[in-house]
Structure 1
Amino acid sequence: MPVDSADELETVLEYETIAVVGCSSTPGKAAHDVPKYLLEHGYDVIPVNPYADEIFGREVYDSLADVAEEIDVVCIFRPSDEVGDIVDAAIERDDVKVVWTQQGIRDDEAAARAESAGRTVVQDRCMKVQHRRLAA
């Protein structure tokens, strides 16, 4: 079952390194403003977007497989029908502990695969909203 309780969400929010798949370079888009908020609140945000070179002054990676750093949380800002492939890429990495899909994004089959692989899953929740509610 995906994480739903405040205690479980607080535990997830304690992780520090977040790869944001679908991170946007366009201010005003949630895929830009949420990771920027996380960065401003002390998280190590790793942008993943094959169509950008730099976001927030940071190198942008084309895919999760290209990220050299260790990743704690994969935060997904892509349509629900793309979640499965992203989750599979997250599962291939030994370091990913949590898969988080943003508000309005969910794939129950992919979530079940991630959980079966020992990953914590948060679906259909905004990381910024949860951080403001529980950790700020």
Structure 2
Amino acid sequence: MLDDDRALRELLRTCRTVAVVGAKDRPGAPVDGVGRYLLDVGFTVYPVHPARKTVWGLTAYPSLADVPGPIDIVVLFRAPQHCPDHAREAVALVPPPRIFWMQSGISSPEAASILAGMPVHVVSDRCLMVEHRRLLA
């Protein structure tokens, strides 16, 4: 798990692309606020949702494998039981993401175990928007 603020700050400073798994542009939903924040601060955002065609005016992709470019951060807005499957998807990406981020209230030891030994930092039960603001404001 990535718990060191200095290391996280440096990683966030150099990451530019984010795949938002479970993306929805429903006003008031936490994923909507975080997604819009990421866009506002200059990230290239790839919404990932199996049923939606667009989110935030962007093309939505049914899976991580369908995203058309390298992903620096995979951020999950899915229930913990879905995290291991997304960790397996992340492991299959070439190159793999630099960070596998499970949002506030979400953690999965199984997902972390799947990513162990990979060059992927795991963050659990923390909000990407809150941490980005705190570390890079």
TM-score > 0.5, shorter chain as reference = yes
Gaps of 5+ in 1: none
| Equivalent residue number for residue 56 of structure 2 | 56
Residue 34 (structure 1) shift: 0.4
Residue 118 of structure 1: how far off its partner (Å): 2.1
Structure 1: which 4+ aligned runs deviate by more than 3 Å?
Answer: none
- SS of structure 2 residue aligned to 1:116: coil
Unaligned runs of 5+ in 2: none
CA distance in 2, matches of 1:48, 1:126: 18
In the alignment, structure 1 residue 102 sits paired with structure 2 residue 103: yes
Q: Aligned residue for 1:41?
A: 41
> Retained in 2: the 8 A contact 1:25–1:52?
no
Q: Structure 1 residue 20 and structure 2 residue 20: aligned? A: yes
Aligned residue pairs, count = 135
Q: Please name the residue that 2:73 is paired with.
A: 73
Q: CA deviation at 1:102?
A: 0.3
Query: Given the two structures, how large is their TM-score scaled by the length of structure 1?
Result: 0.95
1:19/1:71 contact within 8 Å kept:
yes
Give the % identical residues.
Answer: 38
Q: Show the counterpart of 2:127.
A: 126
Shift in Å, 1:35:
1.2
| Cα distance, 1:19 vs structure 2 | 0.4
